[in-house]
Amino acid sequence: MAHGFAQLGEEVDLTIVGNTGDDLELHGLHISPDLDTVMYTLAGLANPDTGWGVRDETWSTRTMLDRYGEHTWFALGDRDLATHIVRTARLRAGTRLTDVTTALCEALAIPGRLLPMSDDEVRTKVLAADGWLDFQEYFVRRGHRDPVLDVRFSGLASARPTPEVAAAVAAAELVVVAPSNPFVSVAPIARLPGMLETLLASKATFVGVSPIVGGRALRGPAADMLESLGAAEASAAAVARHYATEYPGLIDSFVIDDSDGGASEEIAAMGIKPLVRSIVMKSELDRRRLAQEILDFAAAGV
Amino acid sequence: MAHGFAQLGEEVDLTIVGNTGDDLELHGLHISPDLDTVMYTLAGLANPDTGWGVRDETWSTRTMLDRYGEHTWFALGDRDLATHIVRTARLRAGTRLTDVTTALCEALAIPGRLLPMSDDEVRTKVLAADGWLDFQEYFVRRGHRDPVLDVRFSGLASARPTPEVAAAVAAAELVVVAPSNPFVSVAPIARLPGMLETLLASKATFVGVSPIVGGRALRGPAADMLESLGAAEASAAAVARHYATEYPGLIDSFVIDDSDGGASEEIAAMGIKPLVRSIVMKSELDRRRLAQEILDFAAAGV
């Protein structure tokens, strides 16, 4: 979604706020998977085959890490590792994650501005049948197959959105909640202390995009979580209802797929204006088209 | 030289004490170049073309580090980086360098035992015309072209040999001072507080091997340093004299090259028994042969 807006060029002054609840430390390195995926995508470096990591990657370090007995279930390629090495060194030297991220993004000349939601450590934990798991242990190591009984965000209570995030929200004309998992991707950002107030105080138009199409998640375990955590069937309307319930008065409009057009009335009844479009983004052009449609819709006053 | 003894198999209970004065921190990673060169060599992983690093190496991380504006004059390959990443993580977790080194060496199944000289930080500094330089800045970044006016070992006064090193020296029957730079490779070890006493108290036979053949260093700046720091011409005899002067009574025997055989009498006059052999090791077989010759010589009672 961010890449779609980035492709619109000068027309959009783009700021992306990334979730850092998925961050982890491996081999002593600080890894920010969500920030990196956005950064690599906007830099044109994303691996199109995996949806994560860097294209034209090599795996020499990992082979040696294996020999040293390190756990390598979280696959870090050689090019990707440079990001984690530099990030870790600069964080250890006292630089804020926000500033490290800006420096990395500038080095890769990405369009727009990528901000971590917070410089404070927040770690998403997931309750499986056998206990609490670190997010990436659940997501990557176990392949998000465990039914998720609960989610918590360690560190959230003492974390704050950065001044940069707060300023970006305050200045925004349009805030798009990308098609993401409401429970583990959107919630860590929206539930930062002070964040909802900041969002509600903004004069921006808030447009959510459904991560569910035809009852299935575009990617990842959002559908399963709607059932296990949201006590709802997996549907676009259930996501809209989740936002309307969790963040009352925030979302002005919700974009659902053509194939879910039948949910329009139900969503409208929540006080949210539905926008029905083709939201499955398979190509760069799809991304750009959807971004343009959301922009046009918002410009027309929702 | 260590590889020569390692090839002798069960006949030798091999312990190598490595210099850590050349260690450095780059990109937030702790790098121990001397330990690694020994480890990779004994593991059969050494890069035969460079004399450092790992064979069949790739350089993807470095390319990205370059993009991030990191200084990459100290070339770290992708496979090599795994060593530094693991070492750094384990040191940060509180493991001693000795134990980290043992774990790495065990993972690579090297024969013998590799010990850092100390778990305490010692950093070799070199005085060039324009000031003090970190060792690798002098050695790698500037290609050891600066005349060296002085050498010091930052941290040496409060550093100690490890218990493992002291025990190995005490138990040794033969101590071989490998053909190394006396000023920056041997001195940081020998001048550790308490080390000379430990060496002198050992009942081992001490055999030095000349790093100089025909007035030239086998590798690196030893010849230049003999002139600038040792106030001597670069020769095998000058190295023997340096050892006799710096560490009186320590060296029992000194191995010089056939081509330097004329220095035998001069060395004998220092109270050091000369051994004249072919000491230029170009092949694994050369290494093994010289190790066997030193072993035989020591066994015969020097």
- Tens digit of pLDDT for each residue in B77-132? 999 999 999 999 999 999 999 999 999 999 999 999 999 999 999 999 999 999 99
Least confident interval from A120-124, A157-161, A217-221: A217-221
Give me the torsion for CA of A64, A65, A67, A72, rounded to 10°.
Answer: -130
DSSP code per residue over B64-93 = HHHHTT---SS---HHHHHHHHHHHHHHHT
Token look-up 């194939």 returns A259
Q: Tokens standing for A112?
A: 């727009």
Q: Are strands A24-26 and A29-31 parallel, antiparallel or unpaired?
A: antiparallel
Residue contact A61–B61, C-beta within 8 A: yes
Of B115, B148, B176, the residue that ends a domain is: B115
The alpha carbon of A139 is separated from its chain's Cα centroid by a whole number of angstroms, namely: 14
* pLDDT band per the 50, 70, 90 thresholds, residue A11: confident
Considering only CB atoms, which chain A residues are within 8 Å of B81?
Answer: 61, 64, 78, 81, 85
* pLDDT band per the 50, 70, 90 thresholds, residue A50: confident
Name which of B136, B150, B243 is nearest B189 in CA terms.
Answer: B243
Residue B78 belongs to some domain of the structure: yes
B196 and B292 share one domain? yes
A190 and A277 share one domain? yes
* pLDDT band per the 50, 70, 90 thresholds, residue A130: very high
**Residue A79 in contact with partner chain B when CB distance is under 8 A:** yes
Quick one: what percent of chain A has pLDDT higher than 90?
A: 94
Q: What's the burial of B232, exposed, middle or buried (CB within 10 Å: 0-12/13-18/19+)?
A: middle
Dihedral sign, Cα of residue B243, residue B248, residue B250, residue B252:
positive
Residue A8 belongs to some domain of the structure: no
**Residue A70 in contact with partner chain B when CB distance is under 8 A:** yes
B171 and B267 share one domain? yes
Residue B130 belongs to some domain of the structure: no
Look at residue A302 in the predicted model and tell me its pLDDT: 74
* Overall average pLDDT of the B273-279 stretch: 97
Range of the domain at B98: 23-115
Residue B227 belongs to some domain of the structure: yes
Residue contact B60–A60, C-beta within 8 A: yes
pLDDT beyond 90 at B11: no
Size of interface A-B (CB pairs under 8 A): 107
A111 and A163 share one domain? no
A211 and A107 share one domain? no
**How many helices and strands, by DSSP H and E, does chain A display?**
13, 13
Beta bridge partners of A153: A124
Tell me: the pLDDT tens digits for A171-202? 999 999 999 999 999 999 999 999 999 999 99
B65 and B193 share one domain? no
- Alpha-carbon gap: B298 to the closest alpha carbon of chain A (Å): 37
Look up residue B52 and give its amino acid: W
A286 and A160 share one domain? yes
* A187/A190 Cα distance (integer angstroms): 5
A55 and A172 share one domain? no
Name which of A279, A208, A288, A296 is nearest A2 in CA terms.
Answer: A288
Residue B121 belongs to some domain of the structure: no
* A91/B28 Cα distance (integer angstroms): 10
pLDDT beyond 90 at B273: yes
pLDDT beyond 90 at B301: no
Token look-up 């398979």 returns A282
Q: How far apart are the first and last CA of chain B?
A: 19
B103 and B165 share one domain? no
A146 sits in the region (left: phi over 0; alpha: psi -120 to 50; else beta) called: beta
B108 and B164 share one domain? no
Q: What count of Cα atoms within 13 Å lies in the side-chain half-sphere of residue B126?
A: 26
**Residue A43 in contact with partner chain B when CB distance is under 8 A:** no
Sequence-distant (≥ 6) Cβ neighbours of residue A7 within 8 angstroms = A284, A287, A288, A291
∠ CA A157-A158-A164, nearest 5°, is 110
A170 and A53 share one domain? no
CATH assignment of the domain containing A182: 3.40.50.10680
Q: What count of Cα atoms within 13 Å lies in the side-chain half-sphere of residue A177?
A: 31
Q: Are strands B123-128 and B150-154 parallel, antiparallel or unpaired?
A: antiparallel
Residue contact B81–A68, C-beta within 8 A: no
A107 and A160 share one domain? no
Tell me: the pLDDT tens digits for B149-191? 999 999 999 999 999 999 999 999 999 999 999 999 999 999 9
Residue A124 belongs to some domain of the structure: no
Residue contact B27–A107, C-beta within 8 A: no
Look at residue B19 in the predicted model and tell me its pLDDT: 98
Name which of A293, A292, A242 is nearest A267 in CA terms.
Answer: A242
Of B80, B96, B115, the residue that ends a domain is: B115
Look at residue A48 in the predicted model and tell me its pLDDT: 86
* pLDDT band per the 50, 70, 90 thresholds, residue B50: confident
The closest CB to that of B85, out of A28, A57, A69, belongs to A28
Per DSSP (E only), the strands in chain A are 15-18, 24-26, 29-31, 113-116, 123-128, 131-134, 150-154, 174-177, 205-209, 212-213, 216-217, 253-257, 273-277
Look up residue A34 and give its amino acid: D
Look at residue B219 in the predicted model and tell me its pLDDT: 86
Residue contact A107–B69, C-beta within 8 A: yes
Look at residue B192 in the predicted model and tell me its pLDDT: 98
Q: Tokens standing for B214?
A: 């025909």
CATH assignment of the domain containing B67: 1.10.8.240
Look at residue B49 in the predicted model and tell me its pLDDT: 87
Dihedral sign, Cα of residue A26, residue A30, residue A34, residue A36:
negative
CB contact at 8 A, A211 and A176: no
CB contact at 8 A, A82 and A36: no
**Residue A50 in contact with partner chain B when CB distance is under 8 A:** no
- For A94, other C-beta atoms within 10 Å of its C-beta total 7
Contacts 24+ apart (CB under 8 A), A55-62: A57/B60, A58/B58, A58/B60, A58/B78, A60/B57, A60/B58, A60/B60, A60/B77, A60/B78, A60/B79, A60/B82, A61/B61, A61/B78, A61/B79, A61/B81, A61/B82, A61/B85, A62/B82
* Overall average pLDDT of the B180-205 stretch: 97
Look at residue B157 in the predicted model and tell me its pLDDT: 98
Top residue of B60, B62, B102, B105 to mutate, by most chain A CBs within 10 Å, is: B60
Look at residue A264 in the predicted model and tell me its pLDDT: 98
Residue contact A86–B65, C-beta within 8 A: yes
Residue contact B79–A89, C-beta within 8 A: no
Nearest chain B residue (CA) to A86: B27
**How many helices and strands, by DSSP H and E, does chain B display?**
13, 13
Residue A221 belongs to some domain of the structure: yes
* pLDDT band per the 50, 70, 90 thresholds, residue B60: very high
Residue A247 belongs to some domain of the structure: yes
∠ CA A155-A158-A160, nearest 5°, is 105
- Alpha-carbon gap: B199 to the closest alpha carbon of chain A (Å): 33
CB contact at 8 A, A296 and A209: no
Considering only CB atoms, which chain A residues are within 8 Å of B60?
Answer: 57-58, 60, 77-79, 82
Residue contact B65–A88, C-beta within 8 A: no
Nearest chain B residue (CA) to A105: B68
Q: Tokens standing for A289?
A: 């088209």
* pLDDT band per the 50, 70, 90 thresholds, residue A301: confident
Q: What is the mean pLDDT of chain B?
A: 96
Number of domains comprising chain A = 2
Residue contact A57–B60, C-beta within 8 A: yes
Look at residue B232 in the predicted model and tell me its pLDDT: 85
What 3-state DSSP class applies to A222? helix
* A281/A48 Cα distance (integer angstroms): 13
pLDDT beyond 80 at B302: no
DSSP code per residue over A126-137 = EEETTEEEEHHI
- The model carries a pTM of 0.95
Q: What's the burial of A214, exposed, middle or buried (CB within 10 Å: 0-12/13-18/19+)?
A: exposed
The alpha carbon of B121 is separated from its chain's Cα centroid by a whole number of angstroms, namely: 16
From residue B3, how far is each of B77, B254, B289 by CA, in Å?
Answer: 22, 19, 11
Token look-up 């308490």 returns B194
CB contact at 8 A, B62 and A78: no
* A278/A298 Cα distance (integer angstroms): 17
